[in-house]
Structure 1
């Protein structure tokens, strides 16, 4: 009788040992998935860290490009209302659709860097296009406002080409010397988008 009990106890102990080993093995198999998400955390937090980095080139880019875009919008709005050519009107709509949201993005950069955003009501007309990123003078804007018909279309295209060339030059400076990844990405988009529009406007003039 005692032999049977000892045998039974040995069997139960052996079964418990096997169960313990089995559970340990199962536990080891489920540990890997729970550890995996920790390896994905650095890439998620990296963009936020990179976004905090900026230098003087980034600041110049944002501060120059906001009034630059604002003037382009003023020109585009004139063209939407007054251009004779449907193609010029369509181009003006494209300029407005692209640059209006970029102003908010650029001011968002400045705000995140602890710098006062550019006031949309500021008068930037005194920034002539010579050495100032293609900006038009107030005289240029007045001349455009006084034109009509085909003469308006021609003047608008000529002025917007110079304006875009200035924007591309500013964006190229940002790509070359900026430190903020998001600002550099926006600059790259400006280069590609406005270069394509310059080619389109040159074809319209031809």
Structure 2
């Protein structure tokens, strides 16, 4: 009888242990599932952040459509320095400006294409979307620059490019304030930083003339 009771107790203990193991496994499975879900939680914001980053507004379009002709004119002005500059420093600066702004033109054009917006034509000058681009040179000023050479070119180039850069910085600050497309706002920040530094450099070069 005693042995029979011991067998019953042992069987009950085994059953209880088995039940506990099942419950623990279920609990553990729940935890895994929960941690798996929380493990995916960070990816949800980034997935939703991606479309948000891709959203653009009218200010972004205006920035891209305005900066393209603005940059094109700067590249045209910089291209003149190769054969007209009297100073190696001015020629080097012009080459740097061209090197920096050419790729930005391509990037800006790519954004407009992807947004289904018009990319300014090559011959579009200082006016786009109904307003004049800040700091753009007039045809007369461009003609004056083309005719100059040596020290006269250096002075005219530096004075005009300072004005041109100031206009670009103004446009970039507007994009920083009003735009919503993160890459465009980042480019605007780069323009403010790099062109402000170049304005300082050009003022110093003018002081040497």
Q: CA deviation at 1:22?
A: 2.9
Q: CA deviation at 1:116?
A: 2.0
Aligned to 2:48: 45
Cα RMSD after superposing both structures: 2.5
Question: For the Cα contact (< 8 Å) 1:52–1:113, is it kept in 2?
Answer: no
TM-score (norm 1): 0.83
Q: Tell me, yes or no, if structure 1 residue 22 matches structure 2 residue 24.
A: yes
Structure 2 residues without counterparts, runs of 5 or longer: none
Describe the SS at the equivalent of 1:116: coil
Q: Secondary structure at 1:202's aligned position in 2?
A: helix
Aligned equivalent of 2:95, options 93, 104, 122: 93
In structure 2, distance between residues paired with 1:83 and 1:203: 16
Could you tell me which of 102, 117, 125 is aligned with 2:104?
Answer: 102
> Hey, what's the Cα distance between the residues in 1 that align with 2:139 and 2:76?
12
> Secondary structure of 1:155's partner?
helix
TM-score (norm 2): 0.82
Q: Deviations over 1:116-174 (max 9, x none)?
A: 2233xx213565xxx53111233322322222222222221111111111111222222
1:123 corresponds to which residue?
A: 123
Deviation at 1:202, TM superposition (A): 0.4
Q: How many pairs does the alignment contain?
A: 201
CA deviation vs aligned residue, 1:52-107 (integer Å, no higher than 9, x gap): 2302x322221111011011111122224442322212212221222112112212
For 1:186, the equivalent position in structure 2 comes to: 187
* Structure 1, unaligned runs of 5 or more: none
